[in-house]
Structure formats: C-alpha cells, structure tokens
Structure 1
Amino acid sequence: MDVPSSGSLPDDVFHDRCDAIIRSVSTVIDGKTEAVRLALTVLLAEGHLLIEDVPGVGKTMLARALARTVDCTVSRVQFTPDLLPADITGVSVYNQNTREFEFKKGPVFANILIGDEINRASPKTQSALLECMAESSVTVDGTTYELETPFIVVATQNPIEMEGTYPLPEAQRDRFMARISMGYPDAAAELEMLRSRELSSPLDALTPVVSVDQLRELIATVRRVFVSTAVEEYAVAIAQATRRDPEVRLGASPRATLHLVRAAKARAAIDGRDFVLPDDIDALAVTVLAHRMIPARHSAQASTVLTGHSIADVIERIVAETPVPVTAAAS
C-alpha cells in the first residue's frame, strides 16, 4: 500500500503523532531528544539512517525503539563477515513437489530493517542493500520484487574499532539520508539509566504508538510541505560549494541535495510549519552531507569521528559563506 496521494493530516493530529513517537522513544533513550528528533526526521522523510558512534551509547537501542513505536513489519540483521547477500535479500529454493524454484524472502522484506554493525559485512554483502535502499526493490535470479512502503534501513556501525571491518563504500554511504551520533549521556541521564534498568529493560514496556497506515499519512503530509524556489536554490548552492572547495576531494552528490531538501521538509513539519526555511537547511547540512564527503587529505581513517568533525567544520564554513536568499529569509 502506497502513501495516500491527496489530503493532509490536520496539524494537531500530525503533531500529536510525532510527539507520541518522540516521547515513546525518549523513554528508552535517556537525555538524547535531539538524536530522537533526527531519527524521526529521517523516518518521515523516507530516508535511511546511519547511527555511528562508540560502543555502548545506545545505537542499537535507538534503532529498536524507533522500530517498536510503529506497528509495522521489522527485521533485524546482525552483519558479520560470513553473511551472504542471499541472507539479506532472499534466495530461490527448489521445490521438489512442484518441480519449480520458489523465492524465499529475506529480512529485507520489511518496513524497517535494523542492521547491526553494518561495516562488519563484506563489500559483496553490503552491496546487496544498494538496490533496496535506492529503488525499494530486490532483483534475484532476474526477477524484480517490489518492497512494501515505507521501507527504511536503520544501520549502526562503530567508527573506532577497525579490526575485522570493511569501510562502507561511497555508493553505500550516499544512500543513507543522514548520519547521527549518540554521544555520551550527561551525569543525570546516566544515573537515571542505572536506576531504571536495574531490573528490566525499558524496551520491554515499549508498545506501538502509531500504525503503519498512520505512518504513511505522516509521510504524505511531509511530502506536501512547501519549498520555495529560493530555498531550493540555497540548498543547491551549498551542495555546489562542497564540490568546489579545496579542502574536499569528494563533495555532496545530487542525491545528497535531494535528501537535504526532503529532510528539511520533515523538520519543518515537526516544528509546526508547512513551509521550509533556510534555517532548516542550515540545521541539517552537517547531518545529511558530512558522511558522503571525503576530505582532500584522505587517509585510512577517513570514516573516523575525527575526520567527520573536520568535514563538519568545512560544511559549517560553507553554510556560513553561502548567501541566504532574502526572499526566503523574509518568508
């Protein structure tokens, strides 16, 4: 079932559903409201989310909590070096009774696919997700199977431990709409975590707050958020500047520009607006663009947090130097 093509949700209904999702996930992820809001932004923008951070800060917990808030089909894959592409997409099995091959669907046939430690799988297995993430379809033995919408990949990876990992290739990273980091909790949140998780996990008490059809309605409402020509030109100017910057070897792709505007529409809707401001573009630029770009001084540690921060500095400088359209700023 596709997203409805007409009609938007009333503002109060839209915001009630978004607030319910944020509150529900926040009961599991202590003190990380901004990370939860970014995850919801990607979900409503029909994008894929890469959660990258050090071990033990709640990457997988955020992915599982987000999936549990929606009453939809969810699959989880633990990426390992011996994982095969067929383990993700599915495989054709010969049925001796019918003497025909039958396709057995893999875990990718779900609304939300959680991928743990995605960079531990081989490049061949990682590439099995390329078609799924870009086209919402799977081709096996010459037959193409459409995935149900919405289809969202929420993947985690550890940027510190390099032993036994395969860095995500540029084509794979470009298919993720956004990359977020959890960061360590503050002292109060960590203390509350110690007290609340002594006897049970908060995930056990988490129940869906929206159905998959209600999620489709949220997505349909986000699609109809207005983006002026001036704001579109502003987003394009930022992307173009990343491709000319001397500190960048690989700038933002056209897909990155598209993802930036889509994410900005979702952010505007969550903030209660039916139009996008340049501030939405500014706020999401690093989250949407940084993981796709490669610095001019590329090294084996290009995917580490340190390199990510240096790229973030470049993007922030480019955003600051790019003129904000007067008509957009005044709207």
Structure 2
Amino acid sequence: MKASNDTRFSKFLLLGFSEEPELQPLIFGLFLSMYLITVVGNLLIILAVHSDSHLHTPMYFFLANLSFVDISSTSTTVPKMLMNIQTESKVITYASCVTQIYFFVLFAVLDVFLLAVMAYDRFVAICQPLHYMVIINPQLCRLLVLMCWTICILHSLLQTLMVLRLSFCTEVEIPHYFCELNQMIQLACSDTFLNNMVMYSAAVLLGGGPFSGILYSYSKIVSSICGISSAQGKYKAFSTCASHLSVVSLFYCTMLGVYLSSAATQSSHASAVASVMYTVVTPMLNPFIYSLRNKDVKRALKTFFVKETLRGQLS
C-alpha cells in the first residue's frame, strides 16, 4: 500500500473481532445488549442522584459524573461498531477516526481522574469524619470536577493533534473495533518517536499520578479502619468505601490484564478482545456495584419509579 501525506482522503478498516459472517449476529446482539444495559444502568444512577435530595452529597455527585463519563465513553466506540456490523461495512473515515480517538482518550482519562477524586472523598470521610463537610464542600466538589475535565480536555487535544501530524497509508487495517490511540500510532507510515514519547509520558503522569493517589488514600483508610476498636465500627467504615474499591479494582485489574495479555501473546486481535473488559464490561457493571448493596440508591430509584408511575396515572 502506498503511503500518502494527505490523510484527508484516507479511509481505515476496523477489523473488529471476527470476519466470519455467521458470528456477526451474535457479536451484534451481545454488544447491543451490553451497550443498552450500560446506558440504562448509568442513566438510572444519574436520575436517582438528581431526583433524591438525600443523595445530594459529594460521594453521589462524583458518582453521577462517573456514570455520565461511562455512558459517553461507551457511546464513543460501540455504536460505530454496531453500525458497521449492521451495514456489513468496516470502513471508518479519517475524520471519524480522529474524533473517536479524541473522545475515547478524554473519557478514559476522566474515568481515572474521577476514581482518584472519589478515593480522596472516601479518605476524608473515614480518616477525618468530623471535618468532612467542611473539607469536601460543594465548591471544592465542583472545582475538582472542573479541574478533571480541563486537564483531560487539554490532554486529549494534545494527543489528537499529535495524531494529526502523522501520515497513513491510503487504506489502513486496524485490528480493533475502534480507533485506539496506540494502534493508530503503530500503523502510521511516518516517524512516530515523538508520538510515543508523548503518549507514554502522559500515561505515567496522568495514569500513575491518580493511581498513586488512590493507593495512598486506601493505605490511610485501611490504617484508620484497623484503629477502630469495635467490629461494627470497622464494618460500617469499610462499607462506605466497598463499592468504590470494587470499581477501582475492576477497572485497574481489567486494564492491567489487557496489557499483560497483549504483551504475552503479541496479538493485536487478542488485545482487542481483552480491551472489551475495561471499555464495555466495566462501565456496564459499575451501576450494579453501586446500587445492589446501596440502600440509599435503591430507595431513590424506588421513589423515582413510584413518582413516575403516579404521574403517568394522573396524566
């Protein structure tokens, strides 16, 4: 394939998971189901937090933002894949591919930042409970979320601009179901040293920094819980951060598993399959983790549905 510096007319082919026609309906149904569950589940979390005044607290404010990011992240990649399967086409334009990279990088890093902010919230709630409402005030909550969005928007813009400087072959096959940044850099026909340097530096700073904050927060949380004398007090303290810890573990373990598996197999196809865990499965499971054992969320959802049912009967 001939390289071209003019990428405006380039088209890419998303190879997806399988080229076998008989598997396409199964893949379509599976991903459509997971996508709908993700959207509906996270949307219910947002509605519950918005509609119930008892959930107007910092923890649920951050949770509603995380749910919005999960919906947006999944919506960046899955609908295009479903459309390609339905139309029996693997083509994605250069402009669409760059746009997909921008939004996927934005929401993926936002996930990491929000999980770190939520860890800090739990740290203050358990380690400094008497000062919690003073430290984690509404102004600080909005400022933290605004800072997360600002940093992630600038970072995503930088990564996208770095991709725009690359030239690609006239028709590039991407062994993935969406335009993933690392895959795009590997498939470029031009020099990618600067792109790799920026990408890995950002991964260390924007990935390692929040993760270190999470580890520090939970080291202090565990130390505080161990210092509680009563078993009931320990259980109550642990239960306030159990959901968040579960989500953090799921997110980082699946992401680590993706990169370890891809490094071990050296297969782009295997990496694409494994990446489904943190790009689709984790956002789908988050609402269940935060609602199944959370009495406040379940009560808010029940109240919301009762109000909507009564409103429908009266109208």
TM-score, length-normalised on structure 2?
0.23
Answer with 1 or 2: which has the greater Rg: 2
Answer 1 or 2: which has greater helix percent.
2
Q: Which has the higher contact order (CA 8 A, sep 6+)?
A: 2
TM-score, length-normalised on structure 1?
0.22
Answer 1 or 2: which has greater strand percent.
1
